[in-house]
Amino acid sequence: MVYVKSSDGIKFSDVEGVDEAEENLQEIVDYLHNPEKYREIGASMPKGVLLVGPPGTGKTMLAKAVAGEADVPFFSMSGSEFVEMFVGMGASKVRDLFRQAKEKAPCIVFIDEIDAIGQKRNSGNLGGNDEREQTLNQLLTEMDGFEGNSGVIILAATNRPESLDPALTRPGRFDRRVPVELPDLQGREAILKVHAKKVKVEDNIDYSAIARMASGASGAELANIVNEAALRAVRDGRKAASQTDFEESIEVVIAGYQKKNSILTDQEKKIVAYHEIGHALVAAKQTNSAPVQKITIIPRTSGALGYTLQVDEGNHYLMNKEELENKIATLTGGRAAEEVAFGSVTTGASNDIEQATKLARAMITRYGMSDDFDMVAMETVQNQYLGGDTSLACSAETQAKIDEKVVELVKQQHEKAVQILTENREKLDELAAQLYEKETITGEEFMNILNS
Distance CA 65, CA 278 (A): 48
Cβ atoms 248, 226 nearer than 8 A: no
DSSP symbols for 171-237: TTTEEEEEE-----HHHHHHHHHHHHTTS-B-TT--HHHHHHHTTT--HHHHHHHHHHHHHHHHHTT
DSSP symbols for 306-359: -EEEE--SS------HHHHHHHHHHHHHHHHHHHHHHSS--GGGHHHHHHHHHH
Q: Which of 97, 114, 112, 113 lies closest to 152 in space, CA to CA?
A: 97
Phi, psi of 215 (to 5 degrees): -65, 135
Distance CA 247, CA 209 (A): 9
> Residue 195 CB: number of other CB atoms within 10 A?
18
Cβ atoms 94, 81 nearer than 8 A: no
- Bridge partners of 5, per DSSP, are 73
Find how far residue 140's CA is from the centre of its chain: 31
Catalytic residue list: 276
Distance CA 255, CA 302 (A): 6
Residues 6+ apart with CB under 8 A from 53: 59, 159, 179, 180, 181, 182, 385
Phi, psi of 236 (to 5 degrees): -85, 0
| DSSP symbol at 382 | E
Distance CA 31, CA 151 (A): 9
Find how far residue 347's CA is from the centre of its chain: 28
Residues 6+ apart with CB under 8 A from 351: 304
Q: Which of 96, 58, 97, 59 lies closest to 75 in space, CA to CA?
A: 97
